[in-house]
Homo-oligomer: A and B are copies of this chain.
Amino acid sequence: MTSILHDHEHEQTPAVKIAKAAKSAFEASQLIPPAERVKALHEIRKELVNAKDDILVANLRDCLAAQAEVDAGRMSSSLLKRLDLTKGDKWDSLLQGITDVANLPDPTGIVTYASELDDNLELYRVSCPIGVLLVIFEARPEVVVNIAALAIKSGNAAILKGGKESNDTTQLLAQAIQKALSRTSVPSTYIQAIQTRAEVSALLALDKYIDLVIPRGSNSLVRNIQNNTRIPVMGHAEGLCSIFVDESADVEKAVRVVVDSKTDYPAACNSVETLILHENVLNTIWPTIAQALLSSNVQLLCDSPSLFALHTLSPAPENISTHVHPSTPQSYITEHLTLTLSVLTVPDLSSAIKHINAHSSHHTDCILTENEDSASAFCRGVDSAGTFVNASTRFADGFRYGFGTEVGISTGKIHARGPVGLEGLVIYKYMLRGKGEKGHVVGEFGIEKGKKKFKHVPIETKTAPY
C-alpha cells in the first residue's frame, strides 16, 4: 500500500532536492540515539585525517587563485590569510574542535518543564533539535567543519554555503564529512554544501523544509537575507560596542578595561568602538585613559568637550597631533574594527543609556563605575545582549562564557541572544503521556460541578519519557 498523496507543491529543482534531502535526513535522525551522533563526529575526524592531503591541495588551489586576486588588488590580504588552512595550528585545531564538540553535554532530551495534569496524565517539555539549518558564512573554510560538528551534535541537519573564494576547500571538506557519515547511522545528506548564491536564493524560498537561516557575515548580508525570506533568521551581525565611563569610575580599572577592549583584537565584533564619558571625568580620568590609548597607537575621534580637554593639557599628550581628530555624527554609528575609537561626552548616566540604546548594535556594552546603583541601572537599562560592569567587552564570547564553542553571536532579540552555543540550536516539544486505563479526554474537565479540575503538580525529573 502506498500513500495516495504526492507532493505537488514544489517542482524538483536542485534546491528543492537539497532541501527535501536535508529534511528527510533530519526526520530520520530523530529516531537514532544521540550516542550515534557522537560516533559520527569521531568518524568525521578520522575521515578528515585520511583526506588531509587532498583537502590541503584543494586549499592550495583556492589560495593561489586568491593570491592572484590580491595581486590584482581585488581582494584583501587578510581575506587570503583567513583562507589558508595550513597557517599556524589551524588544521590541528579544526580536528580538536570536532573532539571538543563531541565531548560537550547533549543539548537534546533535557526536560525543562514537567507537570502532572491529572492522575496518570504527564506533560513533559523536552529539548529537541530545530530541524534544518541553512548556514551562510564567509571565507574561513574551517567553519564548514565547526558548523557541521555543532549541527550533528545538536541533532540538526545543515546546508552550508561558504565564501566563493574557498569553494574547492569547502567541497572537499563536505565530501569527507559525507563519506564519514555514510559509514554511520546518521544519513549522509545530514550535511550538504552548496556553492552558488543562486542556490541560496532558491533555498530561502523553501520555508517548508528549512527551519532557520544563520548568516555569519556583514550587516548587509544579514539584512539582505532578512529581506528575502519567510524563514526565521538568527543574525550574527556587527558589533558596535560601547564603554561608559561613569563619574565614579576608578582610573586604573578604566585604563585597563578600555585599552584591552580596544586593542586586544580590534577586528573582533566584541571590541569597543565608542567611549562615552560622563562630563565630570573630562578633566580627571579622561586624560589618563586618552594617554594610555594614544600610547597604544589608538586613533581618537573626539566630540568637542573631549577634544578640548585634551588640547588644554600641559604638557600635551604624546601623539596628539597625529592621533586625535574631531568626530562626526557618522563616527558614532561606525564599526571601526581597527585601532580607532569614537569618543562622546554626556551629562549623565541616563543620557549614556539613551545614546547606547539608539546607536549600539545591542551586542555588548560596558559601564565603568564604583557605584552599585549606577551599575544596576546600566545593566537593566541598556538593551543589549551583554551588559558588563568593570570588565572588557572582549569577554563576550562563547568560549569565555563557558559554552565550549559558539555558532556565532546573535544581536537579535528572540530565541538566542549573545554568544550562541549548542543551546541556541535546540527548541523543545511538549510530550503528553496518558497512562490511565481509559484514554484521557478534555470533555471531563471544567468548572461545572462533577467535572474534573487540572492538578498541575510539578514532576521532578530531568529525563525525557522515551
Q: Do A413 and B131 have beta carbons less than 8 Å apart?
A: yes
Closest partner residue, chain B, to A5 (CB atom): B329
In contact, A376 and B254 (Cβ under 8 angstroms): no
Chain B residues closer than 8 Å to A359, beta-carbon distance:
5
CB-CB under 8 A from A316, the residues of chain B are none
Residue A163 CB within 8 A of the other chain: no
Question: Do B392 and A27 have beta carbons less than 8 Å apart?
Answer: no
- Please name all residues of chain B whose beta carbon is closer than 8 Å to the beta carbon of A355 when the two chains form the complex: 3, 5
Q: Which residues of chain B have C-beta atoms less than 8 A from A442's C-beta?
A: 260, 264, 392, 394-395, 400
Q: A250 — which chain B residues lie within 8 A by C-beta?
A: 439
Chain B CB within 8 A of A256 CB = yes
Do A395 and B440 have beta carbons less than 8 Å apart?
yes
Residue among B332, B380, B435 making CB contact with A31, cutoff 8 Å: B380
A336-351 vs B, Cβ < 8 Å mask (1 yes, 0 no)? 0000000011110001
14 contacts between A and B (CB under 8 A): A1-B345, A4-B329, A252-B438, A259-B441, A260-B442, A368-B439, A375-B433, A386-B431, A388-B433, A391-B441, A392-B442, A396-B430, A396-B432, A417-B430
Chain A interfacial positions (CB closer than 8 Å to B):
1, 3-7, 26-27, 30-31, 115, 117, 121, 123, 128, 130-131, 207, 211-212, 223, 226-227, 230, 232-234, 250, 252-257, 259-260, 264, 279, 303, 305, 329, 332, 344-347, 351, 353-355, 357-359, 368, 375-377, 379-381, 383-392, 394-396, 399-402, 412-415, 417-419, 427-436, 438-443, 445, 454, 456, 465-466
